[in-house]
Amino acid sequence: MPRVAIGVDLGGTSIKAARVHEAAGIVEEHSLPTEAAEGPAHVLDRIAHVARKLGAEEAEVEGIGVGAPGGVSWDRTTVTRSPNFPNWGTVNVQHGLTERLGFDGPIVVGNDANVAGLGSAFHGAGQAYDSFIMVTLGTGVGGAIIYENEIFRGSTGGAAEIGHMTIDYEGPLARSGVAGAIEGYLGHEFIARYAQLRLLNEDTLVRDLLPEGDLAQVTTKTLTEAARKGDAPAIAVLAWAGHKLGCVLGSAINLLDIRTVVVGGGASAAGNFILQPARDTVTDYVTPALQDGIAIVQETLGNEAGILGAARLAFQYLDTYAPSSGAS
Amino acid sequence: MPRVAIGVDLGGTSIKAARVHEAAGIVEEHSLPTEAAEGPAHVLDRIAHVARKLGAEEAEVEGIGVGAPGGVSWDRTTVTRSPNFPNWGTVNVQHGLTERLGFDGPIVVGNDANVAGLGSAFHGAGQAYDSFIMVTLGTGVGGAIIYENEIFRGSTGGAAEIGHMTIDYEGPLARSGVAGAIEGYLGHEFIARYAQLRLLNEDTLVRDLLPEGDLAQVTTKTLTEAARKGDAPAIAVLAWAGHKLGCVLGSAINLLDIRTVVVGGGASAAGNFILQPARDTVTDYVTPALQDGIAIVQETLGNEAGILGAARLAFQYLDTYAPSSGAS
């Protein structure tokens, strides 16, 4: 009988969750607003609520996985310094949910970008690879190292912070304070700011796509829309972003010798407008001995990567700590 | 009874090897010139010669490990693109030595920087840590990722090429062709070139330490000697190098969440003249969530790190593929 788990993607604005069959994937999905401003107890109430709707109280559900922004403890119980939940401090998600649900199976927490990588590995573009680097382009730039189908966690569980790797030690600051960190080029607000300035004196379709032609409202989405219509200035902005992505991926490939990169997150919808310039750049930043077979591919799963990855985290926990009879 | 292996450090100018007891370390050591220009068959003859002198034909010797510059195949048999052996192509070291020695235990090959990391993990500064990043500062800048007391190998065995990570995507080229690669700052010839230019118009003790005061002959060693005597220009050059090292280590720590760095290789003898500026810099290049507990320490083993690490590689191979009775 296929195993069943609940996967939860805890975001700053919404909680997305699903009941997941190990092989078949999502069988039922729910989402609701996070209402993060109400504090952690309220958010845990809401997660418990959605988990109950998905059958957390049924015997068939063997585990619950939660992907959350921020740092996750090595034992996968707590979340710390979550950028979208500024007043959270450290919250024991496992304890909070166990208490609320009376659930006796494992409840495990993973970093959201890490978990999206796991979702990709088992259900998305990453299925074709045992090991790959996942980059998620969104408000921030997140990452995952999937090594032999598991999340590489480093020493404390915080590995794969690709967004904070520098490509220019004297470059512009990102929110982390790191000069030249890739997030300071590719994070939502940074690419928008670059586009605003670069397009200021250009004749571009992007203006037509924005309310009152206000470039202050530009997003990767509007840039992509204009690029698809052949708008050269928009294409140039996305190519600039892709070039920077190629630089940082070169460094990551040198360090890890993992040559496949899966790019997800909202801005990945720009597809080859970002990815092709990244491909054209990356080999220039990798030592010749490691250049063969480099691939940069787009994740198409969207939000489901996080939900499916969270459920997978629960399945992997069960494999390790509570293997079903017959398994080794 | 403690296990015995032979560890070989194959360098461009000399072959250094030792008979190594698993617990006690080096018990007997030999070295001889590599004579690399004579070609791979000759070099393999010389390795076999030194291995025989160290007792490769005695039953007590259970394995042979070889650390070599260049790429090593996943199965640890061949060496490719070895920078110090330009005409080697791909050489099957395992086969060549098995044939010459009639040795029936495992003969395993590792990248020299990787193997030095393993030596540090079991016999050097790395003993205090289960996981650390090793950086070797020499002609090139090599690296190792030691994760839970083993070499992290990536997908094909080529991981930890820290020397080729960029810190400035528009920076100066290194020999790999990577712009801003750290090797293009810290590799022997690069730091020497920087020193030549920086010291040109300075009143510095470095000149007094060089034949005819010829700055073209400056090395990290002379810089360190002058720095120890309080020479401010020499101190400034080493601090410049340390700052660059801190930048790249920040990127590596973000990606790996491995917060201890062991620095070895010839230039590491500069000690805190390089390491303190690296320490002062590194946290500026790491996201706040991963800044706690970062340590940059000096490896003091010297060449022995490579020999001991090569022997350890053989012991780890025996653990995995030919465990002694009683072991799991």
Categorize the per-residue pLDDT at A322 as very low, low, confident or very high, splitting at 50, 70 and 90: confident
Cβ-based burial of B253 (10 A; exposed 0-12, middle 13-18, buried ≥19): buried
Q: Which tokens in the block code for residue B39?
A: 């070609």
Interchain contact, B257 vs A158, CB within 8 Å: yes
Residues B24, B27, B31, CA angle at the centre, nearest 5°? 135
B5 pLDDT higher than 90: yes
Q: How confident is the model at residue B26, as a pLDDT?
A: 96
Tell me which DSSP letter residue B179 carries: B
Helix (H), strand (E) at residue A225 = helix A220-228
What dihedral do alpha carbons A242, A246, A252, A256 form, nearest 10°? Answer: 120
Residues forming a β-bridge with A143: A135
Cβ-based burial of B64 (10 A; exposed 0-12, middle 13-18, buried ≥19): buried
Q: Which of B184, B167, B211, B195 is nearest to B273 (CA)?
A: B195
The region that residue B148 occupies, defined by phi over 0 for left and psi between -120 and 50 for alpha, beta otherwise, is left
| DSSP per residue, B66-130 | EEESSEE-TTS-EEES-TT-TT--EEEHHHHHHHHHT--S-EEEEEHHHHHHHHHHHHSGGGG-S
Chain A residues 102-161 with a CB less than 8 Å from chain B: 130-131, 143, 145, 153-161
pLDDT in tens, B10-56: 998 999 999 999 989 999 999 999 999 999 999 999 999 999 999 99
Q: How confident is the model at residue B327, as a pLDDT?
A: 39
Q: For B23-30, which contacts have Cβ atoms below 8 Å and span 24 or more sequence positions?
A: B25/B123, B25/B308, B26/B304, B26/B307, B26/B308, B28/B54, B28/B55, B29/B307, B30/B54
Q: Which of A142, A149, A84 is nearest to A123 (CA)?
A: A149
Q: How confident is the model at residue A222, as a pLDDT?
A: 97
| DSSP per residue, A30-78 | EEEE--GGG-HHHHHHHHHHHHHHTTTTSTTEEEEEEEESSEE-TTS-E
A259 pLDDT higher than 50: yes
Q: How confident is the model at residue B326, as a pLDDT?
A: 40
A238 pLDDT higher than 70: yes
User: How many angstroms separate the Cα of A290 from the Cα of each of A181, A244, B157, B303?
Assistant: 23, 19, 10, 27
Mean pLDDT of A172-183: 96
Percentage of chain B surpassing pLDDT 90?
89
B196: amino acid identity, one letter: Q
CA distance B72 to chain A (A): 10
Question: What does DSSP say about strands A4-10 and A14-21: parallel, antiparallel, or unpaired?
Answer: antiparallel
Residues 6+ apart with CB under 8 A from B285: A164, A166, A169, A178, A179, B246, B247, B249, B250, B251, B254
A82 pLDDT higher than 60: yes
A268 in Cβ contact with A242 (< 8 Å): no
Mean pLDDT of A53-59: 93
B164 in Cβ contact with B183 (< 8 Å): yes
Residues forming a β-bridge with A30: A17
Interface pTM (ipTM) of the complex?
A: 0.95
Q: How confident is the model at residue A328, as a pLDDT?
A: 37
A17 pLDDT higher than 70: yes
CB nearest to A257's CB, from B158, B258, B286:
B158
Q: Does B294 touch chain A (CB under 8 A)?
A: no
Helices (DSSP H) in A124-187: which residue ranges? 183-186
Q: Does B291 touch chain A (CB under 8 A)?
A: no
CA distance A70 to chain B (A): 9
Categorize the per-residue pLDDT at B126 as very low, low, confident or very high, splitting at 50, 70 and 90: very high
Q: Which residues of A touch B290 (CB under 8 A)?
A: 156, 158, 161, 164
Categorize the per-residue pLDDT at B317 as very low, low, confident or very high, splitting at 50, 70 and 90: very high
Cβ-based burial of B102 (10 A; exposed 0-12, middle 13-18, buried ≥19): exposed
Interchain contact, B256 vs A159, CB within 8 Å: yes
Q: How many CB pairs under 8 A join A and B?
A: 156
Q: How confident is the model at residue B194, as a pLDDT?
A: 98
Q: Does A287 touch chain B (CB under 8 A)?
A: yes
Chain B residues 46-75 with a CB less than 8 Å from chain A: 70-71
B304 pLDDT higher than 80: yes
pLDDT in tens, B69-83: 989 999 999 999 877
Whole-structure pTM value: 0.95
Q: How confident is the model at residue A326, as a pLDDT?
A: 40
CA distance B182 to A52: 52
Q: Which of A200, A199, A164, A198 is nearest to A184 (CA)?
A: A164
Interchain contact, B165 vs A255, CB within 8 Å: yes
Interchain contact, A145 vs B255, CB within 8 Å: yes
A109: amino acid identity, one letter: V
- Phi first, then psi, for residue B99 (nearest 5°) are -60, -50
CA distance A140 to chain B (A): 12
B325 pLDDT higher than 70: no
CB nearest to A154's CB, from B156, B159, B256:
B256
CA distance B167 to B134: 18
Q: How confident is the model at residue B324, as a pLDDT?
A: 58
A183 pLDDT higher than 70: yes
CB nearest to B290's CB, from A131, A158, A166:
A158
Q: Which residues of B touch A180 (CB under 8 A)?
A: 168
Interchain contact, B247 vs A169, CB within 8 Å: yes
User: How many angstroms separate the Cα of B119 from the Cα of each of B12, B113, B123, B299?
Assistant: 20, 10, 6, 10
Question: What is the CB-side half-sphere exposure of residue B148 using CA atoms within 13 A?
Answer: 6
